[in-house]
Amino acid sequence: MKKVPKVKLVDRLHRGFVNVCIASTIFAGLNLAYMGYNYFVHVRPILKQQQSKQQEELLQEGIAFDHNAPNPL
């Protein structure tokens, strides 16, 4: 078996570590982009629909409350 100098071994380890860091950065960026896409395409419209439904229910409760309130005059 041929002996490999320490510097060459450390160089290979460093290059491998850098490749792992680059790959994890790319993966994290793609994952973040997918999560943003999922939020804006799927989650946000559902939240807006729920908020508008709650707002409409609140307005209906207010109208019902006003009609049932005693007339001060």
- Give the pLDDT confidence of 10-60 residue by residue, as tens digits: 999 999 999 999 999 999 999 999 999 999 999 999 999 999 999 999 888
What is the C-alpha separation between 53 and 37, in angstroms, rounded?
24
pLDDT beyond 80 at 72: no
Residue 16's domain spans which residues?
Answer: 1-65
The pLDDT value recorded for residue 64 is: 73
**Has residue 12 been placed in a domain?**
yes
The pLDDT value recorded for residue 71 is: 63
**Has residue 71 been placed in a domain?**
no
- Residue 4 pLDDT class (50, 70, 90 cuts): confident
What is the C-alpha separation between 53 and 23, in angstroms, rounded?
44
Overall average pLDDT of the 52-73 stretch: 78
Distances (CA, A) of 1 to 4, 20, 41, 44: 9, 28, 58, 61
**Has residue 72 been placed in a domain?**
no
Q: How many domains does the chain have?
A: 1
**Has residue 1 been placed in a domain?**
yes
What is the C-alpha separation between 37 and 47, in angstroms, rounded?
15
